[in-house]
Amino acid sequence: MAEGQGQEPECPVCWNPFNNTFHTPKVLDCCHSFCVECLAHLSLVTPARRRLLCPLCRQPTVLASGQPVTDLPTDTAVLTLLRLEPHHVILEGHQLCLKDQPKSRYFLRQPRVYTLDLGPEPGSQTGPPPDMGATTRSLPIPIPSRYSLRECFRNPQFRIFAYLMAVILSVTLLLIFSIFWTRQFLWGVG
């Protein structure tokens, strides 16, 4: 990890400053830290998918069967230095995914999912498309959650909101019918 006085800690491979999203610092067995994006790229191009060689010292880090690089330990000392809370980034195929949780528990907001494409599937394309000149870095793109409605009904704040709305609607309808019934009763007697 290259650090200087007054500089933010950065990944020694891509030189991007560490953060709590796609550049979360992950620690290998040799105690060197790299961003999760660089480690994900490395894991996708490594022939032995369960073994990562450190880009600095070449010491292997063995991953458990089916364990993605996103499950490696996070360098919490770097995140503490940057005053950041760690986010849970997952690797799905050739995409890193980050689910952004709502900041306030009092306002109901759907979580956003950001993805970062790490490259083509093996055997699909051998190079960039002919119409693209320079390689562009893909930015996190919000995509809708598949289970947003189901998650919404599991949210306790939403259930309280739904119950309150049902009570307000019931009381309003009861008042309307009672006013209507009272007018009918008073007009029918007179």
Task: With respect to residue 137, please indicate whether it lies within any of the assigned structural domains.
Answer: no
Of 87, 104, 124, which residue sits at a domain end? Answer: 87
57 vs 182, higher pLDDT: 57
Dihedral of alpha carbons 150, 155, 158, 163, sign: positive
pLDDT digits (tens, 9 = 90+) for 46-75: 777 688 889 999 999 988 877 888 889 898
Please report the pLDDT score of residue 138 as a whole number.
47
The answer to whether position 28 is within a domain reads yes
Residue 164 lies in a domain: yes
Domain extent, residue 184, equals: 157-189
Distance of CA 190 to the CA centre of its chain: 68
Count the helices and strands in the chain (H runs, E runs): 4, 8
Whether the CB-CB separation of 67 and 82 falls below 8 Å is answered with no
CATH of the domain at 43: 3.30.40.10
How many domains would you assign to the chain? 2
The neighbouring-strand residues paired with 26 are 34, 74
Q: In this structure, is residue 124 part of a structural domain? A: no
Residue type (1 letter), 169: L
Is 37 contained in some domain?
yes
Domain boundary, last residue among 40, 57, 87: 87
Kindly state the tokens that stand for 36.
């999760």
Measured CA distances, 21 to 116, 162, 183 (Å): 10, 33, 63
Residue 70 lies in a domain: yes
pLDDT in tens, 102-140: 665 555 566 677 777 787 655 554 444 444 444 444 445
- Whether 118 is covered by a domain: the verdict is no
Confidence of residue 44 (pLDDT cuts 50, 70, 90): confident
Considering the entire predicted model, what is its pTM?
A: 0.56
How far apart, in whole angstroms, are the C-alpha atoms of residue 53 and residue 46?
9
Domain limit, last residue, from 52, 87, 122:
87
For residue 115, count CB atoms less than 10 angstroms from its CB and return exposed for 0-12, middle for 13-18, buried for 19 or more: middle
How confident is the model at residue 144, as a pLDDT? 46
Evaluate whether residue 40 is within a structural domain.
yes
